[in-house]
Amino acid sequence: MSAPDVSLVIPAYRERDRLPALIARLTELALVAPRPVIEVVVVDDGSPAAHVDAERASAGEAARQLAAAGAPHAVRFIALDRNRGKGAAIRAGWSEADPRASWLGFVDADGAVGAAEALRLAAIAAGDPPADVVAATRIRMAGRRIERSLVRHLQGRVFATFVEELFHLGFYDTQCGAKLFRANRLRPILPRLREDRWLLDVEVLALLSREGSVFVEEPIDWCDPGGSKVIPGLDPLKMAFGLWRMRRRLDREAAARVAQASRPA
């Protein structure tokens, strides 16, 4: 495989019904677009065997088609031994990504961010933008189409407001399921990441913000496919508490690093 411009992790949990369509469409588009070079790393997060088999088969068929066509892209499959959470699956994928990749990112397996949009974000990143993070955002502007319920939209806005109050990231939509990070910015902070589930996005953005990284949000087409694994009411409360706890942890860690740096040699 050529050195990838982008290594894109797809975390998957019980996704035998939705992931194959996303992988097939990504492959179809990649076969006619040799640039940017994409590595897709599918990480199953401890699904039952039937789901693992279907996910592995879809990744294997994509890899076969790309190799047969002599395409520069690659698709790989990793299965975790138990369910650890979306964030843990993404981190596992990043740890296995090709070390030559210039950008590391992820896209959700449910297809809410379609294959064409995922590849468009990859092309923006590979075009060397004046930013260290290219993040998809669900906002109706620049002709983009957003299809989701009013309840889900309002829940998202409440969550985004809470994130902004705690972390001051200047982000409209921290939780959209597609983001790309410059590898030379992301790799140094990988050992510091602790979030295993829904809050990895915020953790990465908060740490990169403190390191002076520059962000850009890119409006995308987004369609709610249904079947969300977020439990209304309960999970938002857990996430709110998790944000508060994360803020305290990051502040403690930052203070400890400052104290260590100020000690005499």
Q: Specify the pairing of strand 103-107 against strand 178-182.
A: antiparallel
Predicted confidence (pLDDT) at residue 152 exceeds the cutoff of 90: no
- % pLDDT > 70, the chain: 95
pLDDT digits (tens, 9 = 90+) for 197-206: 989 999 999 9
Q: What is the pLDDT of residue 45?
A: 98
* Token pair of 198 as six digits: 């829904």
| 11 neighbors 90 (Cβ within 8 angstroms) | yes
CB burial class (10 A; 0-12, 13-18, 19+) of residue 172?
A: middle
Q: What is the pLDDT of residue 65?
A: 98
- % pLDDT > 90, the chain: 79
pLDDT digits (tens, 9 = 90+) for 202-253: 999 999 999 999 999 999 999 988 766 555 555 667 888 899 999 999 999 9
Mean of the per-residue pLDDT values of the chain: 92
Q: What is the pLDDT of residue 241?
A: 87
Contacts of 237 (CB under 8 A, 6+ apart): none
* Token pair of 193 as six digits: 């990441």
Q: Could you tell me the pTM of the whole model? A: 0.92
Number of CB atoms found within 10 A of residue 78's CB: 18
Q: What is the pLDDT of residue 3?
A: 93
| Least confident range of 15-24, 68-77, 101-110, 249-258 | 249-258
DSSP designation for 177: S
Residues 19, 40, 71, 129, CA torsion sign: positive
Question: 3-state DSSP call for residue 251?
Answer: helix
pLDDT class for 142, splitting at 50, 70, 90? Answer: low
Predicted confidence (pLDDT) at residue 260 exceeds the cutoff of 70: yes
pLDDT class for 35, splitting at 50, 70, 90? Answer: very high
Q: 6-262: which CATH architecture?
A: Alpha-Beta Complex (3.90)
Domain borders along the chain are: 6-262
